[in-house]
Every structure is written in C-alpha cells, then in structure tokens.
C-alpha cells in the first residue's frame, strides 16, 4: 500500500539539495548533495532550474521580475531564484525566476537613428 507523502517538506528538501548542488558543485559537499539528489530522483522528485531557457507564460513559474537585457531577441530566464519541484511529473512547488526581456529603444533614439 502506498505511503502518503507530505509534499511541502519534500519540496523544501529538494530545494535545499538543489541550492547545495548549485553553490558547491565540487568536493565532498557537492558529492553528498548529488547523492541526495539521486535519492530524491529515485522517489520521483526533481528540482528543476530554468537558467537560460526560453520563457513563455505557459510555464508554471512565478516571475519575480522582468528585466530589460541587451542582446536578447526573445524572453529568457536569466536566473532561477528557486527551482520548480516535481513529484512524478506533477508540480508540487512553482519555481521563481527573473526573466530577461529584449531592450527597447526609446522613440527619440529611434527617430534620430533613422
């Protein structure tokens, strides 16, 4: 018989492991964090960051800020502040991100450049 899992603390654990892996990818701490992430994955838990991914409003992410960014042709995730957490493919905690948007030139600059 399946055991009921409280998704809140499980999501918090997944976020903590994701942060450890992000901040200490090498060395003993990184290896232990990787082992913890592997154990969570075996249970069907995945913490997913979105850095560099194309952004669309259909993603189940909470946008903390839209930031005009030079060189972007489309909206992209600049930074994952907190990862999305999935349990067997279902979102149990929405990720939080900062999204870069293409810079727009002020109208006065456009007219001078023409």
d(CA 10, CA 19): 14
Query: What pLDDT does residue 113 have?
Result: 56
- Does the pLDDT value for residue 108 go beyond 50? no
Give 22-35 pLDDT, tens digit per residue: 888 788 888 999 99
pLDDT category of residue 111 using cuts at 50, 70 and 90: low
CB 64 within 8 A of CB 97: yes
Give 42-97 pLDDT, tens digit per residue: 999 999 999 999 999 888 899 999 999 999 999 999 999 999 999 999 999 999 99
Query: What pLDDT does residue 37 have?
Result: 94
Q: pTM for this one? A: 0.82
d(CA 47, CA 79): 15
- 24-8-58 Cα angle (round to 5): 85
d(CA 43, CA 57): 29
- Does the pLDDT value for residue 109 go beyond 70? no
User: 7-113 sits in which CATH class?
Assistant: mainly beta
Can you give the C-alpha Rg of the chain in angstroms?
18
CB 98 within 8 A of CB 77: yes
Query: What pLDDT does residue 93 have?
Result: 96
Query: What pLDDT does residue 112 have?
Result: 55
């Amino acid at each position: 018989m399946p055991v009921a899992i409280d998704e809140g603390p499980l999501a918090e654990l997944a976020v903590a492991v994701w942060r450890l892996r992000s901040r200490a990818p090498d060395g003993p701490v990184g290896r232990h964090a990787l082992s913890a992430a592997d154990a969570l994955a075996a249970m069907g838990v995945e913490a997913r960051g979105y850095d560099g991914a194309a952004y669309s409003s259909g993603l189940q992410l909470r946008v903390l800020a839209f930031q005009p960014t030079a060189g972007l042709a489309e909206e992209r995730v600049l930074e994952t502040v907190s990862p999305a957490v999935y349990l067997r493919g279902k979102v149990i905690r929405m990720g939080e991100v900062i999204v870069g948007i293409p810079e727009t030139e002020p109208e006065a600059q456009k007219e001078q450049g023409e």
